[in-house]
Amino acid sequence: MSTALASQTAIISGGLGDIGRAIARELASQGADIALCDLRPPADAEPFLSELRALGQRARYDVVDVSDASAMRAWVREVESALGVPTLIIPNAAQVTQADVRHLSAEQWRRELRVNLDGAFHLAQAGALRLVEHRKPGRIVFIGSWAAHRVHAHIPAYCVAKAGLRMLCQCMAVEFATHGILVNEVAPGIVDAGLSGRIMDGNDALRDSVRALTPVNTLVQPDDVAQAVAFLCAPNNRQMTGSVILQDGGLSLLTPKP
Ligand SMILES: NC(=O)c1ccc[n+]([C@@H]2O[C@H](COP(=O)([O-])OP(=O)(O)OC[C@H]3O[C@@H](n4cnc5c(N)ncnc54)[C@H](O)[C@@H]3O)[C@@H](O)[C@H]2O)c1
């Protein structure tokens, strides 16, 4: 087992989702203590917390809605008291509403932006301010999406939120660089789990056609995302900031056939 991230505390929103769990496992396996939040009741987190503790790390779970700025600030402080100042900050929570612009309600639009963009901002801001206060270096890794880079007309609110995240990442990279805080993004393509996995579940024909469309002919796995996050969190990453690791198997390079 690696100890590359020993003495670090990772804080991950949406930590009970498929990608959130994979990130938590990877960072714990490299020696980081782990704090997770999600919307599900604490009992749902217990088996996973045991798994993380079996890796030799401290782990905790709290029910926190990322769209609530003051709850997010309070959570970051609670984690700090329990596990130490979070040094690896991973805004990961998101939802997706499948509705094109004609059918998207104002409330759906607001909720998507509140969770996917505001929620990521609340965690990143609260975490960065604690690092500055303690004069500690750290890493922020946003979980974006290739949807920020290409139009997906059936999920416009999701695309807009992820495009906003891209610019937030760059703004924060500049603002916090002199504090030793590097801010980056991992942008997965179509993952065979989580938000898109659930859409493909029970529809093997859809899964096969999506895979066939992807130049590398494989779908992204949660562990691919987790390893990219760990790379950006590693102490030997000293220069990458404001960057995005796009993991879409070449999908966004394609030009639609006429
Ligand atoms: N699955 C994909 O194909 C894919 C592709 C690109 C990017 N992503 C991104 O990966 C990240 C993780 O998604 P996933 O695919 O693992 O989905 P997931 O649904 O398995 O995980 C998302 C988690 O976020 C939690 N969550 C939702 N709203 C929340 C809120 N208001 N407060 C706290 N937690 C909340 C959910 O309960 C869930 O556990 C997201 O940022 C998503 O946009 C996923």
DSSP for 174-234, written as a single string: HHHGGGTEEEEEEEE-SBSSHHHHHHHTT-HHHHHHHHHHSTTSS-B-HHHHHHHHHHHHS
Q: Does 255 have pLDDT greater than 90?
A: no
**Confidence (pLDDT) at 171:** 98
The structure tokens 């991973």 sit at 90
- Mutate which of 12, 21, 39 for ligand 1? The one with the most ligand atoms within 8 Å of its CB, which is 39
How does pLDDT run across 59-108, given as a tens digit for each residue?
Answer: 999 999 999 999 999 999 999 999 999 999 999 999 999 999 999 999 99
The arithmetic mean of pLDDT across residues 13-35, rounded, is 98
Domain ranges for the chain: 9-189+221-247
| Architecture field, domain 9-189+221-247 | 3-Layer(aba) Sandwich (3.40)
The confidence score (pLDDT) of residue 99 equals 97
Residue-level pLDDT at 221: 98
Tens digit of each residue's pLDDT (9 = 90 or more) over 155-175: 999 999 999 999 999 999 999
Question: Ligand 1 atom closest to Cα of 146?
Answer: 6
Contact 49, 23 (CB under 8 A): no
What does the mean pLDDT of the chain come to? 97
Pocket test residue of 25, 122, 191, 211 for ligand 1, highest count of atoms within 8 A of CB: 191
pLDDT at 47: 98
Amino acid occupying residue 239: Q
Residue 149, pLDDT score: 85
pLDDT surpasses 80 at 120? yes
